[in-house]
Amino acid sequence: MTPTRYQQAFILHFGEMGSRWGINRTVGQIYALLYVSESPLNADDITGALGMSRSNVSMGLKELQSWRLVRLRHLPGDRREYFSAPEDIWQILQTLVEERRKREIDPTMSMLRDALMESTVKPSDEYARHRMQDMLDLMELVTGWMNELSDLDRATVVKLMKLGGGVKKLVGVRAKPAASAAS
Amino acid sequence: MTPTRYQQAFILHFGEMGSRWGINRTVGQIYALLYVSESPLNADDITGALGMSRSNVSMGLKELQSWRLVRLRHLPGDRREYFSAPEDIWQILQTLVEERRKREIDPTMSMLRDALMESTVKPSDEYARHRMQDMLDLMELVTGWMNELSDLDRATVVKLMKLGGGVKKLVGVRAKPAASAAS
């Protein structure tokens, strides 16, 4: 298969953005191709479409599978492995957020927890300790919140997002009855 | 200056995490050093503390300034440039989110907008077009929401985060009066 000119623009863009997203050019291109392909593709299809070496395609597919961004599939009567990107864009977002948290935030949270558990901190380290505590507190608050959001049903999340700044009133409203009762 | 053993663990960890965060080891270490230092440091201080070349330190400081993660300062009676990491951890989070959005999401949103404005899309590109529209819609929803959150006062954001999944009830509550009026 050969990507159309329209698909090509998207594929090249993902290749270029790859380095900013922490993946390499070939991984970005493979993902983009699968994302805009209506049917699952096998490694030969991908090699032909993107003009890269077979081993680059294999490595790229492995990396994308480790991120859970592509799915392995089999077609009836065909022993080759096929790959596709999940249909559901919300599922993709959720996977990305989880995988990035695992790689980019979790290791730092455990490093901070270990350091903060040390009981014998010299006075000269008090400032560093206080800064590390600040960082851990914020990370725990934000990641905890994101976990809870990802457990919510999608309709609630969309409603919340569409509310935007209007959430202030809502969060405030709940506190009002108590406040007026006290006055 | 020499970092204490306690600071050192933090600095080395940030160096190692750098590659996952899309910055290099030296940039990660410089940032970590400034983050746990109570007073602003100049390039000589940093070079001495981290044992890296002066040019690496200069480049690293430039990169951190372009991310708005360190601030340039001057001390009275001293012509050298000093650097510090912002005190306020929420400010740091907000800067990180904005800068990553600018580098990692905005270029893709404008690529998608351009592609979707093309009026002559062949039937064979309909699927790709629909996938790109899905992606753009989600990106606009999420980035718009994050912009609105970052405009809110901190107390509201903390309240919202601490609510966690409890926000479902709140978002639902607002819809109830209309529903019961209709029944």
3-state secondary structure of A23: coil
Residue with tokens 């053993």: B5
* Interchain CB distance below 8 Å, B20 and A103: yes
pLDDT given for residue B175 in this prediction? 47
State yes or no: pLDDT of A179 exceeds 70.
Answer: no
B162 touches chain A (CB under 8 A): yes
Distance from CA of B130 to the nearest CA of A (A): 9
Residues of B in contact with A87 (CB under 8 A): none
Q: What is the pLDDT of residue A180?
A: 45
Smallest CA-to-CA distance from B31 within B77, B95, B80, B112 is with B95
Residue bearing the bigger pLDDT, A88 or B165 = A88
B160 and chain A: CB distance < 8 Å anywhere?
yes
The structure tokens listed for A166 are 């209007």
CB B109 within 8 A of CB B147: no
- Cα distance from A161 to chain B (closest Cα, Å)? 5
Across the interface, whether the CB atoms of B22 and A17 are under 8 A apart is answered: no
Q: Return residues 45-104 of A near B (CB < 8 Å).
A: 89-90, 93, 103-104
Q: How confident is the model at residue A32 (pLDDT cuts 50, 70, 90)?
A: very high
Chain B residues with CB under 8 Å of A49 CB are none
pLDDT of B181 higher than 60: no
Residues A30/A50, Cβ–Cβ less than 8 Å = yes
pLDDT value at A103 more than 90:
yes
Q: What rounded mean pLDDT belongs to chain B?
A: 91
- Which pLDDT value is given to residue B45? 97
Integer angstrom CA distances of residue A16 from A68, B39, B114, B158: 21, 40, 16, 36
* Residue A121, token pair as written in the block: 């901190």
Quick: pLDDT tens for A41-88. Answer: 999 999 999 999 999 999 999 999 999 999 999 999 999 999 999 999
User: Considering chain A, what percentage of its residues have pLDDT values greater than 90?
Assistant: 79
- B64 touches B35 (CB < 8 A): no
Q: Which residues contact B9 (CB under 8 A, 6 or more apart)?
A: A111, A115
Determine contact: B39 vs chain A, CB below 8 A: no
Contacts of B173 in chain A (CB under 8 A): 170
Domains contained in chain A, CATH given: 5-84 (1.10.10.10), 89-172 (no CATH)
Inter-chain touch A152–B160, beta carbons under 8 Å = no
CB contact under 8 A, A10 and B104: no
Closest Cα of chain B to A152: distance in Å? Answer: 7
A1 at the B interface (CB within 8 A)? no
- pLDDT value of residue A56: 97
Q: Does the beta-carbon distance from A148 to B164 stay under 8 Å? A: yes
